[in-house]
């Protein structure tokens, strides 16, 4: 969780600078690679490093997804859609 907190702002700045599509592609590819590499972990230190890296790449996912959804829906409907996503995201974090 600390990595997500630390890298949220830089990820949002990158989102604004290079665009939503490229940022989401970067986030999802890196997230997938790190998740696949979790298979090869053999020590607690490696586990903590990989979890930190997952947090780094997860930091840009939710803001990017919300911004991307605002492109699909008109303003009158996008607020309710974003509200649903934030509600689900917060619910998932509380269940941990």
pLDDT, position 72: 76
In tens, the pLDDT along 34-82 reads 999 999 999 999 999 999 998 888 887 877 777 777 777 777 776 676 7
Q: Please answer whether residues 62 and 11 qualify as being in contact, where contact means their C-beta atoms are separated by less than 8 angstroms.
A: no
* pTM assigned to the model: 0.69
The answer for residues whose C-beta is within 8 angstroms of residue 7's C-beta and 6 or more apart is: 55, 56, 59, 60
Q: Is the pLDDT of residue 95 over 50?
A: no
The residue that leads in pLDDT, 28 or 4, is 28
Torsion of CA 57, 61, 67, 70, to 10 degrees: 160
pLDDT of residue 90: 61
């Amino acid at each position: 969780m600390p990595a997500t907190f630390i890298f949220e702002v830089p990820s949002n700045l990158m989102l604004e600078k290079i665009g939503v599509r490229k940022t989401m592609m970067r986030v999802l590819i890196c997230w997938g690679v790190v998740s696949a590499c979790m298979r090869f972990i053999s020590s607690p230190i490696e586990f903590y490093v990989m979890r930190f890296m997952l947090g780094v790449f997860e930091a840009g996912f939710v803001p990017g997804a919300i911004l991307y959804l605002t492109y699909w829906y008109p303003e009158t409907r996008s607020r309710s859609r974003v509200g649903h996503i934030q509600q689900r995201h917060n619910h998932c974090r509380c269940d941990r």
